[in-house]
Homo-oligomer: A and B are copies of this chain.
Amino acid sequence: MSESSTIERPYLIGIDLGGTKILAGLFDKNLNCLARSKKSTKASKGYRFVVERISKCVEELQKDYSFDFKEVSGLGIGAPGSINSSKGSVIFAPNLDWKDKSLGPDLQDQLNIPTIVDNDCNLATLGAYHHEFIGKVSSALGLFIGTGIGAGLILNDELYSGFNHTAGEIGHMVMSLGGPKCGCGNKGCFEAIASRTGISKAITNEIKNGRKSILTEMLGKDLEELKSGDLRKAYAKGDKLVQETIHTASNTIGIAIANMINLICPEVIILGGGLIEQMDTVMMPIISKSAEDHAMTGAAEGVRVISTSLGDNAAIQGAAVLASRM
């Protein structure tokens, strides 16, 4: 190719496709975020509609920070489910009600930007790892706690997704045999106990049993709209039920981390997600102590348990890292 025909492609796009919102970021080659855009997913309107929404999100980036799609060398996207990354397809994404969707090729057709797909938690892990730990540690577990609980694994400096590209489904690690029912059909999954959803159910049950909480004043009796920010507010106001429930959940998160230290022993465990973002200062000390207390002798030595400084941007950052490697 002659010099004159090469187009400079200084930009990357990273997208975090969630069950409720789509977040897109424009990045330069040094992986600095230049602009962000956000849209609700509206997954109930079907696959084609969501692909359109993603395109619109990218077009909004373009409006915000004028650039040409030809200047974008790659687009990475994280989706909430099991992914065949070589095909760019979503095998199964229950929150979107998708099965076998060619998301990568379809987006590439639409935007004419080379596109690569991975699991959202994998990409959030990659983003946090790349931002804070690359070159310093070779293994990491990213653990994301919000509506649900997901994880990503970095082993030998690389994302590890396992035989069926499904590794990291830590939310469905059974931790309480015969315990509370989980959305997946099993009982006692980590997610059913310590996610925002699990915490909300535990609080609702206690309220039904006669306990008081200011959450009912804030949100009504069934707490349907409960967000992580509401838990933070109630906790700060000294709500005993919320405090107890958050302490129990934090202790359980620490035990889940100890399980992972005992099983895989990553060098660093990076926490993120909505609940951690809102309640970092309260939860992290309890989580760290519980992880240390429950890990086997010697297994947790030197292993760091931290929360990511990237917050909500971890997955779009990781998506851009992935795109930069295309």
- A113 in the interface, Cβ–Cβ < 8 Å? no
- A window 59-103: CB within 8 A of B: 82, 91-92, 94
Report the minimum CB–CB distance from A167 to chain B (whole Å).
Answer: 5
In the complex, what residues of B have CB within 8 A of residue A312's CB? none
Report yes or no: A169 in contact with B303, Cβ–Cβ below 8 A.
no
- Cα distance A263–B256 when bound, in Å? 12
In the complex, what residues of B have CB within 8 A of residue A264's CB? 153, 160, 162, 167, 263-264
Give the 4 A-B residue pairs with the shortest CB-CB distance, closest first: A162-B265, A169-B262, A166-B299, A163-B267
- A53 in the interface, Cβ–Cβ < 8 Å? no
Q: How many copies does the complex hold?
A: 2
Across the interface, name the chain B residue whose C-beta is closest to A256: B174
Report yes or no: A169 in contact with B294, Cβ–Cβ below 8 A.
no
Given A156-B156, A259-B173, A262-B166; A184-B296 close (CB under 8 Å): yes
Of the candidates A262, A297, A302, the one having the most CB atoms from chain B within 10 angstroms of its own CB is A262
Report yes or no: A163 in contact with B139, Cβ–Cβ below 8 A.
yes
Of the candidates A162, A168, A186, the one having the most CB atoms from chain B within 10 angstroms of its own CB is A162
Across the interface, name the chain B residue whose C-beta is closest to A173: B259
Q: Point out residues on A near B: beta carbons under 8 Å.
A: 82, 91-92, 94, 137, 139, 151, 153, 155-156, 160-170, 172-177, 179, 184, 186, 188, 193, 252, 255, 258-267, 294, 296-303
Across the interface, name the chain B residue whose C-beta is closest to A179: B177
Across the interface, name the chain B residue whose C-beta is closest to A171: B262
Q: Give 5 CB contacts A-B under 8 Å.
A: A91-B298, A163-B267, A163-B302, A166-B261, A174-B258
In the complex, what residues of B have CB within 8 A of residue A162's CB? 139, 264-266
In the complex, what residues of B have CB within 8 A of residue A188's CB? 176
- Cα distance A298–B259 when bound, in Å? 23
- Cα distance A160–B165 when bound, in Å? 18
Report yes or no: A297 in contact with B262, Cβ–Cβ below 8 A.
no
Report yes or no: A263 in contact with B168, Cβ–Cβ below 8 A.
yes
- Cα distance A20–B260 when bound, in Å? 29
In the complex, what residues of B have CB within 8 A of residue A298's CB? 82, 91-92, 164, 166
In the complex, what residues of B have CB within 8 A of residue A173's CB? 173, 259, 262-263
In the complex, what residues of B have CB within 8 A of residue A296's CB? 82, 166, 169, 172, 184
Given A173-B259, A174-B255, A175-B174; A164-B297 close (CB under 8 Å): no
CB < 8 Å neighbour of A265 from B137, B164, B260: B164
Across the interface, name the chain B residue whose C-beta is closest to A259: B173
Report yes or no: B265 in contact with A163, Cβ–Cβ below 8 A.
yes
- Cα distance A82–B265 when bound, in Å? 12
- A166-B262, A174-B294, A263-B263 known; 20 other A-B pairs, CB under 8 Å? A137-B163, A139-B163, A151-B263, A153-B264, A156-B156, A161-B265, A162-B264, A162-B265, A163-B265, A163-B302, A163-B303, A164-B300, A165-B265, A167-B263, A169-B262, A173-B259, A175-B176, A176-B188, A177-B255, A186-B294
